[in-house]
Amino acid sequence: MSDGSSWVGATAKQISRAVRRGDVSATQVVADTIEQISISDPSLDAFRVIRAGEALSEAEKVDDQEDLANLPLAGVPVAVKENTAVAGLPTWGGSAAARQPVAERDHEVVRRLRGAGAVVVGVTRMPEMGLWAVTDDEDAPTRNPWDRDRTPGGSSGGSAAAVAAGLVPIAQGNDGLGSIRIPAACCGLVGLKPGRGVIPAELGIDDWFGLVENGVLTTTVADAALGFSVLAGRDPVRLVEPDKLRIGVSTRSPVVGIRPDEPNLGAVATAATFLTKAGHDTVIAEPRYPNALGLRVLATWFASAYRESQHLDVRKLQPRTRRHVRLGKWAWRVGLVKQAHRDAWREQSIKFFADREIDVLLTPALAAAPPPADSYSARSWRHNMSVSMRYAPYAAPWNVAGLPAIVVPVGTRPDGLPLGVQIVGPPDSELLLLSIAGQLEVANPWQRHAFG
């Protein structure tokens, strides 16, 4: 608990353990959460919808269950990203123009969260159609709890802001070109993007040609492991320290002309030092990012917007999105988006790990500080593209490859904003990534919340 009277700020594991033991009711935990959201969210705009009455009613049902001992998330308040169906709510897509009708049933990942005893307290904001690495809409920008003049990142920016502010211990997000890992880095959180096919990922409208994966944002590695196991439909496991690993280290940007700033370079050096002290070997291992990869990532990004727009009134979308859609229509029609291209990069990426004889790859999470919290929805397409690509170039290649990747906090910038690093692994290495993250957490603990 964050203090003696409220469960705000407690971890998911602390809450679920207390509810299972009978030390506190799920209803009390959710009541504390709803009260804190009502106090804190007006200055953050993390939530699109707060399910106050519904959440309290559902918490009471959790308390009435006889099998609490079998619920790994018993009574844990969670937030769900607004493009993920929650029964009884519209499935927002970052704006009124991108909103879908009221969902008749939960998305599978929401069903799994509820089945584990979690209580959905609300849905969190994202940029229109999840296209940008900043979160805002016509109402207001979502703000970073560490510095309300900065963005929490995107597209799962609302989820990250809610967790970093201590409003929920776990928030679901999804990651198409970095949309879990970028906000995790901006907000000092653990953010895991699983590999392809590990967690149900279909969003009902479009899954960005298979690039999108569902996952969680948390303040601790233990909560990340717990959330991952629930979403993956697995029994929770206790993380164990990995055997001696060979860790590749790379600071090369996938985007030509963009270099990480000194704080982000320092974060990689710090993480490498701690991992070496933990008994691992670290070696320089720079992936070769083909020029064609960048063009194909852009084409897929554009075409994803075009395909999703087929269900919407394009005239009502934001100007930045309309241009994205137009470019996507062109990219799709001239054949720039092909599964063979994505398969080739996946094969090259897997071969990279084998050829360099490395177990995982350590990179910066970001290239620069989180940009200002601004009304990006009213700015030009060119401005949005520049902002998103310049500060967050490191995540996208691993969506195309379908490989698991995690962001872990590593200290702070001189201005006090969090720093993070990204660790990428070969297929089926999610638990290994979590174990490495756990070693970093033990060696270099981070401040879990931006209270105040």
In terms of DSSP H, where are the helices of 125-211?
157-164, 181-187
Among all chains, which residue has been given the structure tokens 């030092």?
Answer: 273
Per-residue DSSP letter, 428: T
Burial of 309 (0-12, 13-18, 19+ CB in 10 A): buried
Give whole-number Cα distances, 66 to 29, 56, 120, in Å.
Answer: 18, 18, 20
Distance CA 327, CA 85 (A): 28
Distance CA 6, CA 76 (A): 14
Active-site annotation holds for 179: yes
Distance CA 326, CA 68 (A): 51
Active-site annotation holds for 155: yes
* Beta strands at 77-81 and 119-124: parallel, antiparallel or unpaired: parallel
Active-site annotation holds for 81: yes
Catalytic one of 95, 156, 179, 309: 179
Catalytic one of 16, 155, 250, 429: 155
Question: Closest Cα partner for 155 from 58, 82, 72, 62?
Answer: 82
Type and span of the H or E element at 412: strand 405-412
Catalytic one of 13, 16, 40, 81: 81
In terms of DSSP H, where are the helices of 234-359?
262-277, 291-309, 319-333, 339-355
Q: How many CB atoms lie within 10 A of CB 61?
A: 13
Cβ(54)–Cβ(88) under 8 Å?
A: yes
Question: For residue 211, what are the contacts with CB-CB under 8 A and spacing of at least 6?
Answer: 176, 177, 300, 304, 399, 400, 402
Amino acid found at 445: P
Distance CA 203, CA 206 (A): 6
Query: How is residue 451 written in tokens?
Result: 């209270």
Question: Closest Cα partner for 438 from 129, 85, 190?
Answer: 190
Distance CA 72, CA 93 (A): 30
Number of helices (H) and strands (E) in the chain: give both, helices first.
14, 13
Mapped onto helix, strand or coil, the DSSP state of residue 421 is: strand
Answer left, alpha or beta for residue 104, where phi above 0 means left and psi between -120 and 50 means alpha: alpha
Give catalytic residues, as residue numbers: 81, 155, 179
